Amino acid sequence: MKKFLGIFLSLVVILGLASPSFGGEKEETINYTVVFKQSQLPSNADRVIEELGGTIVYEVPEIGLVQVEAPADFAKKAIGSSAITAANPSMTFELPEGKTIEMDEQLQQSLTDQAALFDAYQWDIKRLTNDGATFENHSGSHDVVVGIIDTGIDLNHPDVSKNLMDGSKNYVPAGGMYGVDESETGDINDIQDRNGHGTHVAGSIAANGAMLGVAPDVGYRAYRVFGAEGGAYSAWIMAAIIGAANDGVDVINMSLGGIYSKGQVYLDGERLGSDIAEYVAYKRATKYAEKNGALIVSSAGNDAIDAKSPKTVTDLANEKYGYLGYEFQGASVYAPGDIQNVVTVSATGPQDELSVYSTYGNGYVDVAAPGGNYDLALEYLAAGKYDEYLEQMLYTQEYAFSSVPVLNYEVNENGLVTNYTYERPGYSWYVGTSMAAPKVSAIAAILFDEHEGISPKKVKVLLQQSAEDIGKNGHDGQFGHGLSTVYSLFE
């Protein structure tokens, strides 16, 4: 059952770790993430890193973060430096292959009317907008911009192109995550989605066409940090947060996250200290965004555990990353979800139930939103009738529907993407807390639009205060303050 649940989690970020190589005649180098004690990058950062045996290959100066190429003993030396607060092998975020169901091309071509898909498939958007009634007076505007840190956007998709604002950026360097993707040239303007996840998220926020988002008139920008393979170094994500904040976006949607230690971290028996560099950087980046007027909205995660149980989270981290030589001791937390000034969103299904995969926790989850579920799919699978589930399109009753590009890939002998071909705009059904967070980002954007000059802190409070109480009476660990809806803002 656990394996089955895993394949149903649709393109929601999990954390992986770069594994260093020890031994051999030639000393190999790997990537490290380093956070300086100064909140901004010091002027002598290059010299400090060079004296420790490394070379800076990527930097986010606003929060004192650099990515370094160095030999395998670099981290041990770096954490002993008086200038450095944390250093460890660079963490990578992966978008694993998950269960998605694409719309039939012939069915798609038959759709010509505005909002033709809304009544048929968008149970989740209908739930939050009172069957679309809120669109008339509370649909957002281009005076407010949501920054979507994700896989980019399908520039050819008619449903999401209308609200795409100028100024989107790409943070994926030439070659991509694994250095072999010929389509990745490092062009800062190349925001074309090669994966689908980002376009699906954007559709839930601001689609205005055959399908509709929660805020169908709000503006958004795409900040691309993932390529076709769905991998990204955390430094790219931090740079995108800072970039979006500097661009003046009002809301930053992050349908991603990872697990970080606040206790002791060991790599092959060597102690790396009590802080993971990425967690320190996340705290700085979220503060920077808030100072610049942006509210970060994050997905809660798809591990179906209590995020406020430090031992449970640490056990999961050891289970996931132990094979790489890591051992975590003490408390571990999710980030950015567990950071105080972030709005963290759990996922619900069509009956307002907590989705079977959703991570939860009292004091962790702020609000909930529909991310899709697969209770019915599990029933049909257990009965040996999963083919019937697909044939009858029963997934339309519980999965989250949105826009995607239809793509083909070229791969090398190692199975890594070397190029891609864009086919056409399309639609797919996904499930995950990645599908819940953008709905709350859209609602936050409406609040910014209708309360000129409002602060991110106040928007977070209004989201919590206006949420519709579901589940147990009052605040609880599954849904936080409740289901975030547009119509409840104005009751």
CA distance 129 to 217: 14
The answer to whether residue 481 is catalytic is: no
One of 138, 157, 197, 200 is an active-site residue; which one?
Answer: 197
Concatenate the DSSP letters of all residues of 269-326 into one string: TEEEES--HHHHHHHHHHHHHHHTT-EEEEE--SS-SBTT-HHHHHHHHHHHHGGGTE
Give, as one character, the DSSP assignment of residue 162: T
Tokens (6 digits) for 288: 């920077």
Contacts of 118 (CB under 8 A, 6+ apart): 125, 126, 132, 211, 212
CB-based burial of residue 7 (10 Å sphere; 0-12 exposed, 13-18 middle, 19+ buried)? exposed
Q: Tokens 């048929």 belong to which residue?
A: 120
Neighbouring-strand partners of residue 344: 298
Q: To the nearest 10°, the Cα dihedral for 407, 412, 417, 422? A: -20
CA distance 225 to 441: 19
One of 90, 138, 139, 150 is an active-site residue; which one?
Answer: 150
One of 10, 139, 234, 434 is an active-site residue; which one?
Answer: 434
The answer to whether residue 451 is catalytic is: no
* Long-range residue pairs from 464-469, CB within 8 A, at least 24 positions apart, any chain: 464/366, 464/367, 467/367, 467/368
C-beta separation of 444 from 297 below 8 A: yes
Tokens (6 digits) for 129: 């907008």
Indicate if the alpha-carbon torsion angle 345, 340, 258, 153 is positive or negative. positive
The answer to whether residue 154 is catalytic is: no
Enzyme catalytic residues? 150, 197, 434
